[in-house]
Every structure is written in C-alpha cells, then in structure tokens.
Amino acid sequence: MNQATLEMQDVTQTVRTWKRYPKYKDSGVEWLGEVPENWELKRIKYIAPISSKKVTKKPDDLTYIGLEHIESKTGRLLLDAPVESVESTVATFEKGNVLFGKLRPYLAKVILADFCGVCTTELLAFEPAKNIDGKFLCYQFLADGFIDLVNSFTYGTKMPRANGEQIINLSVAVPTFIEQKTIALFLDRETAKIDALIAKKERFIELLQEKRTALISHAVTKGLNPDVPMKDSGIEWLGEIPAHWDMVPSNRLFLESKERAHDDDEHLSATQKYGVIPLAEFERLEGRQVTHAVKNLDQRKHVEVGNFVISMRSFEGGIERVKARGCIRSSYVALVAEKKAHIGFYSYLFKSRAYIQGLQATATFIRDGQDLNYNNFRQVKLPCPGINEQKAIADFVERSIIRIDLLSDKIQLSIDHLKEYRTALISAAVTGKIDIREEVA
C-alpha cells in the first residue's frame, strides 16, 4: 500500500498547469479552436502529401509494418509483435514518413518511421515537407480532436476506414519549424516520463496478479496450515497435499447433468473471464456482440446457479462456475456438485494452474478434433479436505483476492488517468493551448 501511495503522489506532481501563449486568434477550424497568433493554418496536402508508392511483392531486404506493429495512442513501434498477415500488395515508405492507420479501430496508430520499409495498405504514408518536423506532425495526428474528426467521416460497415483525400484536405495549425521541433522535444520528454510511470504501475499489477494466482493455487492444494504434515498425493500435477486430505475420483464429487433446457431458460455464455453468465450480460460487459447459437436449440442443457460447465476452452482456462439459471450449448458438459463438495473451494481449484495442467494431460481430444467431455474430467482425481476446511479455504481465498483486486483496480485507475493526461498534453501542445517554449532548454 505504501508503494501505491507514493506512486499516486508522483502522479499529482506530474500533472501541473502549463502557461498559455500571450495572444490567440480564431482558427476557424472547430477541432482547433483558438491558436497562437503567429501560427499558420495549412491543409495537410500542402505540408505532408500522401505517398502513393506500392509494390506487388514485399522485398526481402525491407522490414514490413502492419497495424499490429504500432501501439495505439503512443506513437511506439512494436517490431517484436508477430506478423498477422502480409498482403499481396504493400505500400512503401521512406525514413521520416509519418504512418497513419486509416481503419476506424486503429486511427490512433501513428508512428514516425526512422527507416525505409513496406507496410500494409491500411497505413497511409505522409511525406513531411522540408519545413515540417515529422515528429511534430506525428503528435498532431495523435491529438484527440484530429482523431475524432477523421473518425467522423470514416465509411463502410464491416471495416470502416478513412479516405486519404479527405484527410489531406483537413487543416492543422503550424508554428515555425524551430517551434515545431521544440514542441516535439518537449512531448518526447514528458511522454517518456509518463510512459515510465505507467510501465512501473503495470508491472506492479502483473506482480499482484502473479501473487493472486499463486495464493489460490497454494490454498486449494496445500491448505492454510503451514505446519500440517504432508503426504505425496500420487498425482503429478498436484504433488504433496496435507496428510489428512483424501484423493477422490472426480465423479464421486461431481455428476454430469444431461437435463434438457427449460422453455423459460435464458441463454448463457461460458466465459473464462466472468464464468457462466447470461449471453446478454456478456455482450454488455464486453461492449460487443457475439455469435448466437441457432442450431440444436432443443438439445441445449439446463444449469442452475452453483453448477459448473466444461466448455471447449476449459483445457486452457479451467472449468467455469455457473452464475445464473439458464441453458448452455449442447456440446458443453454440465456438472452438479455432491454435498461433500463445497462449490467455492472447487471453483478456485478448477481455475488453478495446477488443476488446468492436470486437465490438459487428458487433452488428446485436441488432436482428434473433439470437445472436452466428462470422461476427460473423470480422469483427473481431486483433493478432498473435509467440508468445513473446504469452506474455510474458500472464505480465506475470497477475502484475499478481494484485497488484491481492489488494489489492482486502484492502480489501474491511476494508469487510466495518466493515459488521459498524456493524450490531453499532446493535444494541448500541438494546438497551441499551452506555451512550453521555456520548458525546453
């Protein structure tokens, strides 16, 4: 907690009020508003025309850049990212060009190229004129107002994209070349500080998640008493367990249910992130629509709150707990707990790394093209403490992860604020809302 508090103080010190230019004028451009009196308004086509150079085959000696290689909103190149695909026709770019993603979800993917190469045709290559600093132009293209404006005239339904001709006819505010470089240097310096703080916080969240995972796995496989005698479980994925725990065949604790869906059942979605929840709720939480089952609806299976579901992805992320009454796909397996199985304890066990490894060991179905089934589940024996100890472990884990998740959420909130500040700082600097000339030595 002390580290998080100190980091929040760092954020407060980073955010400050910058002074304004002495005089402003109305730009006549809505997204720009007022600009410094000595700045000029110019259309992009006069300061950075779009290159039309393309080749039908990628040269072996040139680096390829796809949308996946550019980090959104940061201007950072990610050459280590795997290549998703290379089109038959690619665009070429020169050192010093500014690349701009024209697909709607990727409008904020902008970089200044420091080498020659080829790129997807979904990236536009702008060629800055001699009196235009490429880095300054890159930051202009990252400004919120500019991105929003370009987004407003994207076209198409499946993959909306911006029209290059419309973009180059947009106006931007241009200071002198020296002032452009000054602003770019200032933003390089300030965004580097912000990015370093964000990276530190993101690493802290990673460590918290590692601690969360390790805590769950240890509690459900070793118990809460560090002094209790241990014994070999005889199971490779489990190792030693408390000597008083039993190892029980899975089908003695969980029975497969094949009850057909009821007429009033709500369609549920088995997710690794949220458990088994209503499909409509999943779409709301994710902010997107997913494919709805339209076949074999009469074969869907009924489940109750507290049941478990084995889905086709369970070999990757464990078995999911049912959070709402409804029905699941016919290809999924529904599990009903017996009285000596505490739902909370086994929900954590089924999502632990150790158990997932045990389940994966049965996964010959991947090669055979089959779904994970009840027989796979039966092959993995389960540790079984007494029911009271199961409850105590589940309660301990729940309390612990609540504390960890609250701290993670607090840190994530501060990351979000930093990212908002970063974006606002860029927008303010490249539109002249703040005067930073004295800030750069």
Domain extent listing, the chain: 40-174, 239-384
Q: Where are the beta strands (DSSP E) in 179-295?
A: 230-232, 240-242, 246-248, 254-257, 268-271, 275-278
pLDDT at 295: 65
Q: Are 18 and 436 in contact (CB under 8 A)?
A: yes
Give me the pLDDT at residue 6, please.
43
Q: How many CB atoms lie within 10 A of CB 280?
A: 12
Beta-bridged to residue 155, according to DSSP, are 161
C-beta of residue 65 within 8 angstroms of C-beta of residue 94: no
For residue 54, give the DSSP letter.
E
3-state secondary structure of 18: coil
Q: What is the 3-state secondary structure (H, E, C) of 363-423?
A: CCHHHHCCCCCHHHHHCCCEEECCHHHHHHHHHHHHHHHHHHHHHHHHHHHHHHHHHHHHH
CATH no., domain 239-384:
3.90.220.20
What is the value of pTM for the model shown?
Answer: 0.82
- Domain 40-174 sits in CATH at 3.90.220.20
Separation of alpha carbons 107 and 123, rounded Å: 9
252/378 Cα distance (integer angstroms): 9
Report the alpha-carbon distance of residue 369 to residue 310 in Å, rounded. Answer: 16
Q: What is the pLDDT of residue 370?
A: 59
Do the two domains 40-174 and 239-384 of this chain adopt the same fold?
yes
Provide the residue-wise pLDDT of the chain in tens; the chain has 441 residues. 344 444 444 444 444 578 899 999 999 999 999 999 999 999 999 999 999 998 887 777 888 998 999 998 888 888 887 776 777 788 999 999 999 999 888 888 999 999 999 999 999 999 999 999 999 999 999 999 999 999 998 988 778 899 999 999 999 999 999 999 999 999 999 999 999 999 999 999 999 999 999 999 999 999 999 999 999 999 999 999 999 999 999 999 999 999 999 989 999 999 988 999 998 898 888 887 776 666 667 789 999 999 999 988 888 889 999 999 999 998 899 999 999 999 999 999 999 999 999 988 887 655 554 578 898 899 999 999 999 999 999 999 999 999 999 999 999 999 999 999 999 999 999 999 999 988 876
Q: Nearest to residue 107, comparing CAs of 156, 64, 160?
A: 160
Per the DSSP assignment, residues forming a β-bridge with 328 are 301
Write down the pLDDT at residue 315: 81
CB 251, CB 309: distance < 8 Å: no
Which residues is 278 bridged to in the sheet? 268
- Residue-level pLDDT at 75: 84
Output the pLDDT for position 293: 65
In the prediction, which pLDDT does 4 show? 42
Predicted local distance difference test score (pLDDT) of residue 11: 41
**Cα(234)–Cα(249) distance, rounded to whole angstroms?**
13
